[in-house]
Amino acid sequence: MIAHETRFRVRYAETDQMGVVYYANYFIWMEVGRVELCRASGIRYRDMEADDGVRLAVAEATCRYSFPAHYDEEVIVKAWIEEANPRMVRFGYQITSAESGRKLVSGETKHIFCTAQMKPARLPAKYFPLFGIG
């Protein structure tokens, strides 16, 4: 399993009046983790789109909230590929507090490979090793 960790501090704009992270921001953080995982693996989304016409459309997204993150807290977003084949990829995520190590959130997103016209597509074979497709 290829995994990658991204660290950052919770920004004020991501919280509510109580200093607690607004629930939808965790999905944005998952995207940050996913993009950085791909970059670390040698995949750049914009190159896949520009060079090969391949997009990753979100088909499913889940998030399990265990504990809230707060303003100015450093968090770690760990992302990995759960499953992949030439038609889709499923990413797993865990968001933890850098200070305490407490798991805050876990989740998954499933993406379908498609064209710019949102038609299903096969992932070009040159990306198979990077996504762990045998």
16 catalytic residue (yes or no): yes
Calpha distance 106→55 (Å, rounded): 24
Q: Which of 16, 47, 51, 72 is catalytic?
A: 16
DSSP count for the chain of H helices, then E strands: 3, 5
Q: Which two tokens stand for residue 12?
A: 């004020």
- Cite the beta strand spans of the chain per DSSP E: 3-9, 55-65, 74-85, 88-97, 103-114
Q: Which residues of 105-134 are buried (b: 16+ CB within 10 A; e: fewer)?
A: bbbbbbbbbbeeeeeebebeeebeebbbee
The residues assigned a catalytic role are 16
